[in-house]
Amino acid sequence: MKMIPFWMVTMAYLWCAIGVSHGAILTTTCMQFEEDYNFKEDKFAGTWYEVRRLNDPSVPHHEDCVVMNYRISEKGIFNIRQSYQIGDESEPIYRGGVAEPKVLQNARIPKFLERFNTTDAADPDTSIDIVATDYSSYAVIYSCTSINSTHKIESAWVLSRQPALAKNVVELVNLFLETRFTRADHKWRATIQTADYCKPTLVEDLSTHSAVSRVRFSIPLVTLLAALLVKVFY
């Protein structure tokens, strides 16, 4: 009887564990992107809706209604708040995380290491590349993270500033995906974002910068002080 190497069994378990939660694909080679642009963290910050992701047909329960808020902190680190649903009867499920810049020599696109508070302590940080974005309507995110010396877990997502992409943006995104994601296993699944399916989420109400909240709360205080001064001196 031919024995299956232990590392292959371990890899299969890792693949299933990651695939169930994130819909990832097992691969031996990461994709290379030739895009080159100056990434502007402040323009990328804010709320994004996931509208597509690379599909893994083995995943029994998909995350839908995925909403993310990116808030800039020190040294270009993003604080992330995310919500999603599993099925139409699910309430929004929340998780938080951080995306730290990954400084690599000759890097042509912005690269981050992402980790959520639901990530197992034994799992590595997820490598995240923002391979395309116009900041105002769409972004394409790619991830390829090593799980051993030979294999990697690959994922990708299309994000939108609104629950659905505008028609002209859909054509632009489709062209990008068709010319870059060309392998046979690169199949895309639409993430459900319809109002009749998705429940309201607190993530949509988060501000982009912490300073925004301070300004909002400081205005009534200034008004109150002005009113008191008028009363005292007049």
Domains and CATH numbers, the chain: 22-207 (2.40.128.20)
Q: What is the dihedral of CA 83, 55, 119, 92, to 10 degrees?
A: 20
Q: How far apart are CA 216 and CA 233, in angstroms?
A: 27
The Cα 234–Cα 231 span in angstroms is 6
DSSP 8-state assignment for residue 193: -
What does the pLDDT profile of the chain (234 residues) look like in tens digits? Answer: 434 343 333 333 333 333 334 557 889 899 999 888 889 999 999 999 999 999 987 888 899 999 999 999 988 899 999 999 999 999 999 999 999 998 765 667 899 999 999 888 888 899 999 999 999 999 999 999 888 889 999 999 999 999 999 999 999 999 999 999 999 999 999 999 999 999 999 999 886 543 333 223 233 333 333 443 334 334
Residue 189, both tokens: 């699944």
Record the pTM.
0.78
Q: Is 218 exposed, middle or buried (0-12, 13-18, 19+ CB in 10 A)?
A: exposed
Q: Token pair for residue 90? A: 């699910």
